[in-house]
Copies of this chain bind each other. A is one copy, B any other.
């Protein structure tokens, strides 16, 4: 027979290391079979229940500390609960001692003025306040804490950007700055690969694998997982790309994230193009538009991202590709799949882009008869096809649409496919080329024509004659969608320049010194890496008592 006893402590703050140590202490007592020490949130209560550690009659608030002991006898359980205070007092201190522990960030800065970083791992509801203070003190922030609101994240990052400071996080697990690992970080050799990571273990996996392959890391900058959502707009990722682009030690950049919002993805890819350095991009779960476009390589796994980054050092001299066409592209396709694959590729580079055969809902073209911004039209869609021959047989619909698009002064490129073979028109170029020539001559220097020609040298149309007729009319011709997408993506660009105060590169290269607020293990790790660091003996305002804290705040005013 087992006996379960418990103890509820209302609204006091305990850090999570203390709770783990208390639980372990209880488990080490004689007669104790199992123990749980948790903040009494619903999730944690459910977890206790799953472990048969939640008696029915417990009532506790989410802010309360809940201590449960299951023992082999009444006495053992009672005795264990009685030892809670003693165990809490016995909590193990940091392995590396620090003579004087400041109790505030400002005091810590006085103790270590050269500290350029503040590591914050206090509970989420207090984290933004500490981060704000750090920014005011002119420090970069490594914000490990989660459960920080989106509003706080945006406001912190905007402040940081104005000051030329970085806010990595919230929920940033890892970074390697100037050879020093922050938070969770693998020990890797220094080298020429800079990493921008919106995902913690993603960055760890990539940096570890780079090390294993013989490569090294210049800096690995974390952004926090939400940085690439459109609300935040990848503020930290953009700052980081800019920083690594300016850093002469960084020869290759790897950018790792869960799939960003589409407009954020386009902006980041454009920024990556503008670094002029080889950039490996792995947006996990985002279909890669190509293997390689200009200076950008797209990976499909963490390990591949590392492999490309290490291999990519070889062709590291890449010029910035100037934006040559600031108008819109209009794709007029007879082949639905070719339209779809082209959209898939171009959506990484052109935004906004619309289609009557969209990949995501945000790309839906309201009226298939009128293009908007960048547009890819499948003219073989059922909408157009009632009682009409397929555009691979009858060019009339496409020629009319070409004229319509060419008359729009915002259009800078008309893209189309020519699909040869059995069943298709016997001389599509013969009908298209004269029209293109005429349209092109009306807008010389303003309007380009690009075609992808699908066919073989055995096709009945004579492919060479088709290619020649198109080229003679001034069309840039490709044989695959992939090549056309690469060409187009290098001709267009977002045109938007990020204007912000650059992060000071020289300061970043100085020996890292840091102030740690929160988990002591992160302080220990800094010290073991030979870093100058100060740990703040942080306690929440009014010891975590919300009502008292609110009173204190009012008194300060």
A residues apposed to B, CB below 8 Å: 14, 16-17, 19-20, 23, 38-39, 41, 43-44, 46-47, 50-51, 62, 65, 123, 146-147, 171, 173-174, 181, 183-189, 199-202, 204-205, 208-209, 211-212, 225, 256, 258, 284-288, 290-291, 298, 300-304, 334-338, 340-341, 344-345, 359, 368-370, 382-390, 392-394, 396-397, 400, 404, 417, 419-424, 454-460, 479-483, 519, 521-522, 525, 528-529
> B46, A187: Cβ atoms under 8 Å?
no
Nearest Cβ on chain B to A174's Cβ, whole angstroms: 8
Would B382 and A181 count as touching, CB distance under 8 A?
Answer: no
Q: Is the CB of B388 within 8 A of A44?
A: yes
Chosen A-B contacts, 24 in total, with CB atoms closer than 8 Å, are A16-B388, A20-B396, A38-B388, A39-B386, A39-B388, A43-B368, A174-B421, A174-B423, A184-B423, A185-B422, A186-B421, A200-B336, A200-B337, A201-B337, A208-B454, A212-B456, A256-B337, A284-B337, A284-B344, A287-B287, A287-B300, A301-B481, A302-B337, A304-B482
Residues of chain B with a CB closer than 8 A to A481's CB: 205, 301-303
> Least Cβ distance of A143 to chain B in Å?
14
| Pair B420/A19 contact, Cβ less than 8 Å | no
Complex partner residue of A423 from B337, B393, B480, B522, CB under 8 angstroms: B522
Is B480's CB under 8 angstroms from A205's CB? yes
Cβ–Cβ contact B303 & A392, under 8 A: no
Of A14, A188, A456, most B-chain CB atoms within 10 Å: A456
Q: Are B482 and A302 in contact (CB under 8 A)?
A: yes
* Partner pick for A285 among B147, B287, B417, CB 8 A cutoff: B287
A349 to chain B, nearest CB (A): 15
- In the bound assembly, the distance between CA atoms of A170 and B523 in angstroms comes to 65
Whether A205 contacts B337 by the Cβ 8 Å rule is yes
Contact between B336 and A225 (Cβ–Cβ < 8 Å)? Answer: yes
- Minimum CB–CB distance from A374 to chain B (whole Å) comes to 18
Q: How far is the CA of A185 from the CA of B456 in the complex (A)?
A: 10
Contact A455 B208 (CB under 8 A): yes
Which residues in B have their C-beta under 8 angstroms from that of A480?
205, 209, 301-303
Contact B285 A290 (CB under 8 A): no
Residue on B nearest A41 in the bound complex, by CB: B386
User: Are the C-beta atoms of B482 and A521 separated by less than 8 Å?
Assistant: no
CB pair B388–A181 under 8 Å, yes or no, is no
Q: Once the chains are docked, how many angstroms separate the CA of A41 from the CA of B340? A: 26
* Nearest CB of chain B from residue A145's CB, rounded to whole Å: 10
Question: Which B-chain residue is minimally distant from A40 (CB atoms)?
Answer: B387
Given the complex of chains A and B, what is the CA–CA distance between A337 and B171 in angstroms?
13
Residues of B within 8 A of A174 (CB): 421, 423
Neighbouring B residues of A189 by C-beta, 8 Å: 458
A208-B455, A302-B337 given. 16 additional CB < 8 A pairs? A43-B386, A47-B384, A47-B400, A181-B421, A184-B392, A186-B455, A188-B458, A201-B336, A202-B335, A202-B337, A204-B454, A209-B480, A284-B337, A284-B341, A286-B287, A287-B287
- Closest chain B CB from A201 CB (angstroms): 3
Q: In the complex, which residues of chain B have a beta carbon less than 8 angstroms from the beta carbon of A384? A: 43, 47
**Copies of this chain, whole number:** 2
The residues of B that contact A200 with a CB separation of less than 8 Å are 335-337
* Interchain CA distance A369-B43 in the complex, whole Å: 9
* A340/B204 in contact, CB under 8 A: no
- Flag if A291 contacts B303 (CB, 8 Å): no
The answer to whether B20 and A389 have CB atoms under 8 Å apart is yes
Residues of chain B with a CB closer than 8 A to A204's CB: 335, 419, 421, 454
Q: A201-B335, A394-B20 are in contact. Are A185 and B423 (CB under 8 A)?
A: yes
Contacts of A287 in B (CB 8 A): 284-288, 300
Closest to A47 in B: B369
Q: Are A181 and B423 in contact (CB under 8 A)?
A: yes
Task: Tell me which residues across on chain B come within 8 A of A208, comparing CB atoms.
Answer: 421, 454-456
**How long is the Cα–Cα vector from A284 to B287 in the complex, in angstroms?**
8
Q: Is the CB of A400 within 8 A of B300?
A: no
Question: Do the beta carbons of B456 and A187 come within 8 Å of each other?
Answer: yes
Q: With A201-B417, A204-B419, A482-B302 as known contacts, state yes or no: A43 contacts B187, CB within 8 Å.
A: no
Chain B nearest Cβ from A100, distance in angstroms: 24
Q: Please name the residue on chain B nearest to A401 by beta carbon.
A: B50
CA distance A370 to B184 in the complex (A): 28
Which residue from chain B places its CB closest to the CB of A392 in the assembled complex? B184
Residues from chain B with a CB closer than 8 A to the CB of A338 are 201-202, 205
A529 vs B421: C-alpha distance when bound (angstroms): 12
Residues on B with C-beta less than 8 A from A404 are 50
Given the interface pairs A291-B304, A300-B290, A392-B184, the reply to whether A340 lies near B285 with Cβ below 8 Å is yes
A339 closest partner in B (C-beta): B201
Cα distance A440–B255 in the bound complex, in angstroms: 39
Q: Please tell me if the beta carbons of B459 and A186 are within 8 angstroms of each other in the complex.
A: yes
A-B pairs, top 9 by smallest CB distance, nearest first, are: A201-B335, A39-B387, A202-B337, A186-B421, A199-B337, A187-B458, A303-B480, A184-B423, A181-B422
* Smallest beta-carbon distance A534→chain B, Å: 18
